[in-house]
Amino acid sequence: MFEKTTYIKRRKKLKQKLKEGIILLLGNDFSPMNYASNTYKFRQDSSFLYFFGLDLPNLAAIIDIDSDEEFLFGDDLTLDDIIWMGRQPSLKENAEKTGINKTLPLKELSLRLREAAGRKRSIHYLPPYRGENQIFLNRLLDIPISKQKEKASADLIKAVVSLRSVKEDCELEELEKAMDTAYLMHTTAMKMAKPGVYEREIAGIIEGIAISSGTIVSFPVILTKHGETLHNHDHSNKLEKGDLLLVDAGCESPLHYATDNTRTTPVGGKFTPLQKDIYQIVLDAQIKAIQSVKQGVAFLEIHMKACEVIASGLSDMGFMKGNVKQAVEQGAHALFMPHGLGHMIGLDAHDMEDLGENFVGYDNEIKRANTFGTGNLRLGKKLRQGFVITIEPGIYFIPQLIQKWENENKFRDFIDYDKAKKSIGFGGIRIEDIILVLNNGYRVLGKPIPKSIEEVENTAHP
Ligand code: GLY
Ligand code: MN
Ligand code: MN
C-alpha cells in the first residue's frame, strides 16, 4: 500500500467532488475458474484499490458524505479459513491501514443501504463488471442487472475519472518500477524470436518473468506471427524465417499499476526490405505522435496526425494514393490501421474502461467519432499534465477486411487493392510505448525498449 494519508486524501477529494449522498464501493471477491474453490488469481477492483489500497477479497465500503463517516465492511476469517489459507489481518487492522475507524460485518451493508434508500438518499455506485458483484448489487439495492449500468452514478464516475486520470508521484514511481519488468519481458521475447521456436514457448517465458518479478501480466499476452489479428491470444504457431513476431504484453507493479508495450521483431533478427519500409512508417508515426504530446493538445488531433504519417508512407509505397489528408479525413487509412492510437493507462491497462470509455476518453468538448477506425479511438480529449497514455500506431494486412472493402468498392480513389492483396500474409506491425503528459511536453516511461530497426535487429540477432 501507499501511505495511509494517500488514501485519506483521495477519499476527501472524492467527497468534495460529489457533495452529497452515499458512495458505495465494492471490492472484488475470488472468482471461480472451473469449480468454486479453484479460483483465478485474485485481482482487486482498481477503484477500490485507488481509494482504499486493500488488496484483499470480500470487502466493501461506504463513504457517507453527509455525515462524514466511512465504513469498511467485511468478515474476519474463520478458523477453517485460517487452516487452509493462513492468517490474514483482521477487518479492524485493515481498516486502520487505510485510515478508517468504523468496521461492520458484510451482512450489515444491505441494512445500511436499505435504510438510506428508504430515506430517499442518493446512493452512488460504479457500474459493476463482474457477475458476482452484479448479483451482489442486485441483492443490495434491488436494481436488475440489466439496469445497473444506466443507473450507475454519472457524478461518481466523473469524479473517479477526474481523480484517477491525473497520476500522483507515488503512482508514477510504481509505473516506472513495472517498466523494469516490461523491459525484460520484451527484450527476452526479441532474443527468443528464432526460426523453429513456438510462440507458446516465448509466451510462457515472458509471462513467467512477470510472475517471477512478483507480479502478474496486466492482460493476456498477445504474442503472434499473425499480428494482423489485433488481439491475438493464440500461441500455437511455430516461427519461421520471414515471419514478424508481434508481442503486445505488460505486467503489473506490486501495487497493480499496469504496463502495456508492443514491439515487432523479425524472426531470426533481420527485417526483409518490405518489412523494413513498413516498420519505418509505423515508427515515424509513433515518434511524431509522441513528440506532439503536451498538456492542452487533443489526443484526437495526435491520432489524426499519426494516421496521416501512415497514409503518407503507404502512398509512397503505392498501397494508397490520392490526397493524404482527404484519405485520412474520410477514413481510408483504417484499412491498414483500424484501431485507435492509444488509451489511458494506470491501475488498468485500459485505465478505467469499466467505468465507460466515453467518460474516460471524451468530454463535452470532444465527442467520439462514429467512423470505422477513428471510432475505435478510446481517448480523444485534451491531454492534461499527469495523464499517462499509450501511443501505439500499427499497420496490418487483414485479408478479410481488404477483401470486403474491395468487394464494396470502398475508397477506390485512395487504395490500390491489387497491391494490398499482394501483401496478404505480411502480418502486422505495432509499436507501443507509455507516455507521461507534462505541461510542456512528455516523458516516455521506463528504460527504452529497443525500437529502431537497428536496435531491434541488434537485440534479436545475437
Ligand atoms: N494491449 C492492448 C492494447 O494495446 O490496447
Ligand atoms: Mn498493448
Ligand atoms: Mn495499449
Cell of 106: 458484510
The tens digit of pLDDT for each residue in 344-402 reads 999 999 999 999 999 999 999 999 999 999 999 999 999 999 999 999 999 999 999 99
Q: Are residues 305 and 387 in the same domain?
A: yes
Q: What percent of the chain has pLDDT over 70?
A: 100
Q: Are residues 155 and 179 in the same domain?
A: no
Q: Which of 165, 186, 215 is the C-terminal boundary of a domain?
A: 165
Distance 227 CA to ligand 1 centre (A): 12
- Which is the closest atom of ligand 1 to the Cα of 350? 5
Q: Which of 165, 189, 219 is the C-terminal boundary of a domain?
A: 165
Q: Please determine, for residue 232, whether its predicted confidence score (pLDDT) is greater than 90.
A: no
CATH of the domain at 34: 3.40.350.10
Question: Are residues 135 and 148 in contact, defined by beta-carbon separation less than 8 angstroms?
Answer: no
Contacts of 423 (CB under 8 A, 6+ apart): 274, 319, 397
Q: What percent of the chain has pLDDT over 90?
A: 97
Q: Is the CB of 248 under 6 A from ligand 1?
A: yes
408 φ, ψ to 5°? Answer: -85, 0
Label residue 461 by pLDDT band (50, 70, 90). Answer: confident
Report the C-alpha gap between 219 and 345 in whole angstroms: 12
Mean pLDDT (whole number) for 238-262:
98
Residue 292's CB is within 10 A of a number of other CB atoms, namely 18
State residue 117's pLDDT score: 92
Q: Are residues 330 and 397 in the same domain?
A: yes
State residue 84's pLDDT score: 87
Q: Is the CB of 260 under 6 A from ligand 1?
A: yes
Q: Are residues 156 and 182 in the same domain?
A: no
Q: Are residues 349 and 290 in the same domain?
A: yes
Testing ligand 1's pocket by substitution, the residue of 222, 282, 388 carrying the most ligand atoms inside 8 A of its CB is: 222
Mean pLDDT (whole number) for 15-40:
96
State residue 319's pLDDT score: 98
Distance 262 CA to ligand 2 centre (A): 6
The tens digit of pLDDT for each residue in 156-205 reads 999 999 999 999 999 999 999 999 999 999 999 999 999 999 999 999 99
State residue 88's pLDDT score: 87
Please count the structural domains in the chain: 2
State residue 278's pLDDT score: 98
| Domain interval for residue 15 | 4-165
Nearest residue (CA) to ligand 1, atom 3: 260
State residue 85's pLDDT score: 84
Q: Please determine, for residue 462, whether its predicted confidence score (pLDDT) is greater than 80.
A: no
The tens digit of pLDDT for each residue in 32-53 reads 999 999 999 999 999 999 999 9
Mean pLDDT (whole number) for 433-442:
98
Report the C-alpha gap between 432 and 212 in whole angstroms: 24
Report the C-alpha gap between 443 and 198 in whole angstroms: 35
State residue 115's pLDDT score: 93
Q: Is the CB of 319 under 6 A from ligand 1?
A: no
Grid cell 507515488 in the structure block, residue:
170
The tens digit of pLDDT for each residue in 115-139 reads 999 999 999 999 999 999 999 999 9
Q: Are residues 149 and 180 in the same domain?
A: no
Q: Amino acid identity, residue 194?
A: K
Distance 349 CA to ligand 1 centre (A): 7
The tens digit of pLDDT for each residue in 277-298 reads 999 999 999 999 999 999 999 9
Report the C-alpha gap between 238 and 368 in whole angstroms: 40
Cell of 257: 499499476
The tens digit of pLDDT for each residue in 52-62 reads 999 999 999 99
Q: Are residues 269 and 131 in the same domain?
A: no
Q: CA-CA distances (angstroms) from residue 51 to 12, 164, 197?
A: 10, 10, 44
CATH of the domain at 224: 3.90.230.10
Q: Are residues 51 and 185 in the same domain?
A: no
- Which is the closest atom of ligand 1 to the Cα of 222? 1
Grid cell 526483409 in the structure block, residue:
272
Label residue 141 by pLDDT band (50, 70, 90). Answer: very high
The tens digit of pLDDT for each residue in 415-424 reads 999 999 999 9
State residue 173's pLDDT score: 98
Q: Which of 102, 137, 165 is the C-terminal boundary of a domain?
A: 165
Mean pLDDT (whole number) for 428-442:
98
Q: Are residues 199 and 322 in the same domain?
A: yes
By the 10 Å C-beta count (0-12 exposed, 13-18 middle, 19+ buried), 307 is classed as: buried
Q: Are residues 120 and 188 in the same domain?
A: no
Q: Are residues 153 and 39 in the same domain?
A: yes
- What pairing do the DSSP bridges indicate for beta strands 60-64 and 123-125? unpaired
Neighbour order of strands in the sheet with 69-74: 102-105, 69-74, 60-64, 22-26, 123-125
- What pairing do the DSSP bridges indicate for beta strands 428-430 and 394-396? antiparallel
For the chain, what is the radius of gyration of the CA atoms? 24
Report the C-alpha gap between 160 and 282 in whole angstroms: 34
Residues with CB under 5 A from ligand 3 (ion): 260, 390
Distance 385 CA to ligand 3 centre (A): 20
Which residues make beta-bridge pairs with 428?
A: 396
State residue 454's pLDDT score: 98
Q: Are residues 365 and 343 in the same domain?
A: yes
Grid cell 516506472 in the structure block, residue:
176
- Which is the closest atom of ligand 1 to the Cα of 432? 4
